[in-house]
Structure 1
Amino acid sequence: MTVPAQVDCLILGAGGAGYPAAFFLAQAGKSALMVDPIGNLGGDCLAEGCVPSKAVREAALVRGLADKFAHFGLRGAAPAVDWRAVMARKDRVQQTRYAQHGEEIAQGGALFVHGRGAITAPDRARIDAANGSTREVGFRHLILATGSRPARLPIPGAELAITSHELFRLGADLPQPEHLVIIGGGYIGVETASMLQALGTRATVLEYTAQLLPGFDAELATFLHASLAQRVRIELSAQVLGIERNGADFTVRYRQNGQEHTVQGDAVLMATGRVPVLPEGFAHLGLQVEHGHVVVDATLRTTNPQVWAPGDVNGRSMLFHSAVRQSLVAAHCIAAGGQAVDRMRFDAVPMTVFTEPELAHVGLTAAQAEAAFGAGAVAVTHYDYATDSRAQIYGETLGFIKLVFDLRNGLLLGAQIAGMDAAQLIAPLALALEQGLGAAALAETAFPHPMLSEGINKAARAFFSSLSA
């Protein structure tokens, strides 16, 4: 492929923050060049994140059905776990999607280079292709979609821990841990603990703060803690001090309540968040950076009007589906000559945690809403899974839907869900938040029966009827 000397838009990274913009701009008649070191679409989400981890998680859920046989009047042995076969299936899912993305590249209209880009001037970059060729390219606009990588704590022995990369990458060949010590109780840590425990691994989670899932709604975090603690050892307020190797095992030292403790396992997972990946020569762009993240406005434009930074590099909402929307916002504005024709609503991006049970949330918590609008300005309605027909059928009656409404106008401000199907249920609530809908729309829509989504309708009706009274 011939790389031109000048393009309208250079896109560094072909993950969720990169390829939607590249294809949109190409279809809009702009010359778009996309460069990615993986050589395909999907970024880390497909390479080592959401897709492969959920492939393993679904295997854990299927195996876990055996634990529920008695509820349905069934009998039989739980299936044995073949770790290598589970991981091979994960690889097949990844390879299927890579083949699909390869077709998208061929048909998308944007130029694609397997390689890396280095910034050499405010409007120029060096493209180092994987085949060894190098080319200088000028650009009118730059989309910085270089994503993020797993973070490691600055502690002795940090290099002894694996990350989500080693665990879920294509072709991962790690044996199944017998006892996995997980440093970090955020969503990556708890998801991994949940799925691997269901496949037969003992797991210990060490979380630095006093709450599992720090930053989450307290009721959601407490719900998950109570459920997960029945299967997984969880240590809160645990400051990890170091990791040491002892033969085939590892010892993790941590301080808790002023005392030092240790826990041993045959593998240690560092699940302490992710940090942005910035290209070589980044300083040439003159961008404002705060806490390691590129500062952007609601159009994803940086402090350099030529540069846009959707996705993980801005740290605003480090999720694949958020990156896709951010990518398109940036592309819409670039295609309009830099005008702010579209804006990102970060508060309307749903967050899901694929543990067993699931969690999901979008928008404001009740506490955040009261802090923003004043005490007494919001109303919270609950729908308890114990009263739901589908939850009763499945025997999954522990859970709830919580909706936060603005008392002044009835608009939805936020939602939190814990329990079965939470990741699916949050989608219509994110739509309602994005579109400025409220209790009336949710209460007057007929939701299918017998499905848990009826709970959204019933919770909205409870609030809406109180407004009408």
Structure 2
Amino acid sequence: MAVEVKMPQLGLTMEEGTVSKWVKKEGDTVKVGDILVEITTDKLTSEVASEAEGTLIKIVAGEGEDVPVKGILAYIGQAGEAVGGAPVAAPVAAPVAAPSPKKEGKTTVAIIGGGPGGYVAAIRAAQLGGEVTLIEKNKLGGTCLNVGCIPTKVLLHSAEALAEAKEMAQLGINVEVKGIDWSKVQAKKSAVTNQLVSGVSGLMKANKIKVIEGVASFASKDTLTVTKKDGSKENLTFDKIIIAAGSVPAVPPIPGVKENASCVDSTGALSFEAVPKSLLVIGGGVIGIELATAYSRFGTEVTVVEAMSKLLPMMDGELTAQLRKMMEARGIKIMTDAKVQSVEASGTATKVNVEVGGKVEAFTAEKVLVAVGRRTDTEALNLDAVGIANDRGRISVNDKMETNVANVYAIGDCLGKVMLAHVASAQGEIAAENALGEDVLYDGATNPSCVYTDPEFAGVGLTEEKAKELGIGFKVGKFPLMANGKALIMNGGVGMIKFIIGEEYKEVLGVHILGPRATDLIGECALAVGMEATVEDIIATIHAHPTVTEAVREAALAAEKRAIHIPNK
């Protein structure tokens, strides 16, 4: 006799749950303990395991359906067994469905991609009254939550904790560091990632956003064909479409890279089976430098190869040079103006041939991280077929996030410009608001850049180099963190805060911070840039003592030759 699979009560106050994903499909053989389905509530995502053995003969509740507690989700029995008096027919592959009829009343909005741009756009569109469908081909949270920002920061935090433990003797605390339990580091990374992804699923449920797992492509200017994992296709028509397709790691045309299993991208570098003894990083941008910092702290011998003349080209040059010296002092070998010519196997290691100073040198490493940037992930969208303007997959938009095709918007990494999660989120809100009838513009002036090195590095607005390039008159205020009490306690006073101030009106043009908690401190500075605040506005604001943020005010004072805790020059 067929056994009912019911909606479990996952909390005392739970009344219903949403079927977010069927792991098994009709006709599959299941054993006790096999995961059948994922259920989402407004607080979490949970898996429902089978309590019976047999065949999943009938799925009653489809993906996206709300089911009350103890409501029937499916039946498990014997193949061909009757449910409700009728034999179960064998599952048949669904043909491509005709476009769904357009619903009257609410504006229907499709979001392609569930990363920090897409899911934020979906929530904002739902807040404004849209009927929202989010289409995600892999996992909610996108690169950032699953294989980018968040897991990287878990590794960096573990590495920072290890370094601090080794230095505790300086504070009079004796700590014995026995080593690294890499499996626990990886488990922590997975736990944090899963919790945040579950949180996004809960937000989709709370905002009544329908989530479809599949690959979307344009069938027409207002219709998407969604190809699901089982191969079935469905055509869906919408009033508005927001593309948030994201990006993937770029693979340079270096001979031997694709063929060598020891060469990994950033995703692979987050999931090494063990801490490598040696690591060569191709690329001195944010991803390469952050992972170089983390693995160096874990004890890996790290070499960084950068083709340009300096690391982190978008950041302030003076502070970047300081960071390089700090990294080299910790044993990281850094080569700039260096180009990788080829990669080849060399016994159990990998040989990397690098042209530097007009000569080719060979370096060997256990692992090679290829971190030369990212490229847009738009191939599957069929952009050209519907005339969406793009430059080799990089979608063109205006400051309303509109493409050249009416009612189609694009945001985030798929634009091929500033590939940062917080930029995608901000653009997602702008696109959603315009799609739902508002009239707002995106302004990237307040966009901070953050690098989670040790110490942290952050900047917003113009760098000194950029101001010179634009011919803008400016003056500089600097404050070394050696003169700040809290920084002295936290990291020995390593780092600096630097203001770029307009010469004529004394407005804050840019702020750059190398030091503890730089990525948190930059928020105040971004606000100042956005408000067109003057240096006097910063000076007139009382900053708490003892904090690192006091040094923000001191750097502003220094621009006016009024610094209190350092001599003025």
TM-score (normalizing by structure 2): 0.77
Q: Match of 1:383, SS?
A: strand
In the alignment, structure 1 residue 112 sits paired with structure 2 residue 217: no
Alpha-carbon distance in 2 for matches of 1:312, 1:349: 14
Counterpart amino acid of residue 413 in structure 1: L
Q: Is the 8 A contact 1:39 1:115 kept in 2?
A: no
Query: Equivalent residue for 2:452?
Result: 354
Is 1:201–2:303 an aligned residue pair? no
* Structure (1 or 2) with the larger CA radius of gyration: 2
Q: CA deviation at 1:248?
A: 2.4
> How much does 1:292 deviate?
4.4
Matched with 1:282 is: 383
Greater Cα shift, 422-431 or 52-61: 422-431
Question: Is structure 2 residue 366 aligned with structure 1 residue 266?
Answer: yes
- How much does 1:208 deviate? 0.7
Alignment partner for residue 490 of structure 2, among 386, 394, 405?
Answer: 394
Amino acid in structure 2 at the alignment position of 1:345 = D
- Please say if residues 17 and 310 of structure 1, whose CA atoms lie closer than 8 Å, have aligned partners that are also in contact: yes
| Aligned position for 1:72 | 171
| Map of 1:45 onto structure 2 | 144
Amino acid aligned to 2:462: L
Offset at residue 396 of structure 1 (A): 2.5
Offset of residue 465 of structure 1: 7.2
For residue 267 of structure 2, what is the amino acid of its counterpart?
H
CA distance in 1, matches of 2:475, 2:393: 37
**Letter paired with 1:153:** P
Q: Structure 1, residues 276-333: CA drift from partner, whole Å, max 9, x if none?
A: 0003312123233236422222221122232211100112321111111110011111
The equivalent of 2:466 in structure 1 is 368
Q: Aligned residue for 1:163?
A: 265
Name the counterpart of 2:345.
Answer: 245
- 1:373 shift after superposition: 4.3
> In 2, distance between residues paired with 1:419 and 1:254?
32
* Residue in 2 that maps onto 1:323: 424
Shift of 1:79: 4.1
- In 2, Cα distance between equivalents of 1:54 and 1:149: 19
Further displaced range: 240-249 or 322-331: 240-249
Q: 1:133 to 1:358 in 2, by over 3 A?
A: same
Q: Superposed, which structure 2 residues align to 1:112-191 within 5 Å?
A: 112-159=211-258, 160=260, 161-168=263-270, 172=271, 174-191=273-290
**Which structure has more helix as a fraction of its residues?**
1
Letter in 2 for 1:18: G
Give 1:391 deviation, angstroms.
1.5
Shift of residue 464, structure 1, vs aligned partner: 5.4
1:89 aligned to which of 188, 195, 199: 188
Do the aligned partners of 1:182 and 1:268 also contact (CA within 8 Å) in 2? yes
RMSD (Å) for aligned C-alpha atoms: 1.9
SS at match of 1:52: helix
CA–CA distance in structure 2, aligned partners of residues 25 and 16 of structure 1: 14
* Structure 2 gap segments, 5+ residues each: 1-63, 66-98, 563-569
**Alignment of structure 1 residues 420-435 onto 2, 5 Å:** 420-435=516-531
Distance 1:291 1:445, change over 3 A: farther
What amino acid does structure 2 have at the position aligned with 1:163? D
Alignment match, 1:443? 539
Shift of 1:256: 1.1
Indicate conservation of the 8 Å contact 2:303/2:334, yes or no: yes
* CA–CA distance in structure 2, aligned partners of residues 123 and 76 of structure 1: 62
CA shift in 2, pair 1:280/1:326, >3 Å: closer
| CA distance in structure 2 between the aligned counterparts of 1:124 and 1:228, rounded to whole angstroms | 51
Q: What TM-score, normalized to structure 1?
A: 0.93
User: How high is the sequence identity, in percent, across the aligned residues?
Assistant: 28
Q: 1:378 to 1:240 in 2, by over 3 A?
A: same
Q: Do the aligned partners of 1:294 and 1:313 also contact (CA within 8 Å) in 2?
A: yes
Q: What are the superposed Cα offsets for residues 198-236 of structure 1, whole Å, 9 maximum, x if unpaired?
A: 011111111111111123221121011101112211111
State how far apart, in whole Å, the 2-side matches of 1:344 and 1:71 are. 48
Q: Quick one: which of 1, 14, 20 aligns to 2:120? A: 20
**d(CA) in 2 for partners of 1:396, 1:345:** 37
Q: Is the 8 A contact 1:27 1:109 kept in 2?
A: no
TM-superposed CA distance for 1:27, in Å, is: 2.3
